[in-house]
Copies of this chain bind each other. A is one copy, B any other.
Amino acid sequence: MASIKEVAKHAGVAISTVSKVLNNYPNVSEETKEKVKAAIEELGYVPNAVAAALSSKKSGRIAIILRLYNGTSAIDEVNMQYLYGTINSARDVGLDVVTLFYSMFEDNNVEEITNYLLSQSISGIIFCGMGVTEEPARSLVNSQRFKVVSIDSPVLNESTSYVTIDQFKAQYEVAKKTKEMDPGPHKKLLYITGTMVSPVTLERLEAIKQFAKDYDMELTIKDGDFDEKKAREITLAEGEVHDMIVCASDLMAIGAMRALMDMDIFRPVCGFDGITLMGYVGQQMNTVKQDFRLAAETAVGELKRLLDGEESRAVILDHELVRLEYSDIIK
Residues of A participating in the B interface, judged by any CB pair closer than 8 Å: 1, 44, 46-51, 53-54, 59, 68, 70-74, 76-77, 79-80, 83-84, 87-88, 91, 96-101, 104, 111, 115-116, 118-121, 228-229, 251, 254, 258, 261-262, 275-276, 278-280, 282, 285-286, 289, 331
Q: Given the interface contacts A50-B54, A228-B278, A251-B279, does A80 sit within 8 Å of B76 by beta carbon?
A: yes
Find out whether the CB atom of B286 lies under 8 angstroms from the CB atom of A70: yes
Contact of A99 among B48, B53, B83, B280 (CB under 8 A): B83
Known: A72-B278, A73-B76. 20 other contacts (CB 8 A): A1-B118, A46-B115, A48-B119, A50-B50, A70-B285, A71-B282, A71-B285, A71-B286, A73-B73, A73-B278, A73-B279, A76-B79, A79-B80, A80-B80, A87-B100, A87-B104, A88-B104, A91-B104, A97-B99, A258-B331
Cα A254 to Cα B277 in complex, Å, equals: 11
Give chain B nearest CB distance to A236 CB in angstroms: 14
Of listed A59, A76, A254, A285, residue having the most chain B CB within 10 A: A76
A278's partner among B53, B59, B96, B254 (CB-CB below 8 A) is B254
Given contacts A53-B50, A254-B278, A279-B251, contact A101 B73 (CB under 8 A): no
State in angstroms the CA–CA spacing of A318 and B77 once bound together.
28
- The count of identical subunits is 2
Bound-state CA distance A111–B279 (Å) is 35
Known contacts A84-B101, A88-B104, A115-B44; is-contact A59 B70 (Cβ 8 Å): no
Residue of chain B at shortest CB distance from A228: B279
Q: Give, as a whole number of angstroms, the nearest-CB distance from A46 to chain B.
A: 4
Cβ contacts A to B, 22 pairs, < 8 Å? A44-B115, A47-B119, A48-B119, A49-B120, A50-B50, A50-B121, A68-B84, A71-B276, A71-B285, A71-B286, A72-B278, A73-B74, A73-B77, A74-B278, A76-B76, A76-B79, A87-B99, A87-B104, A88-B101, A96-B98, A251-B279, A261-B331
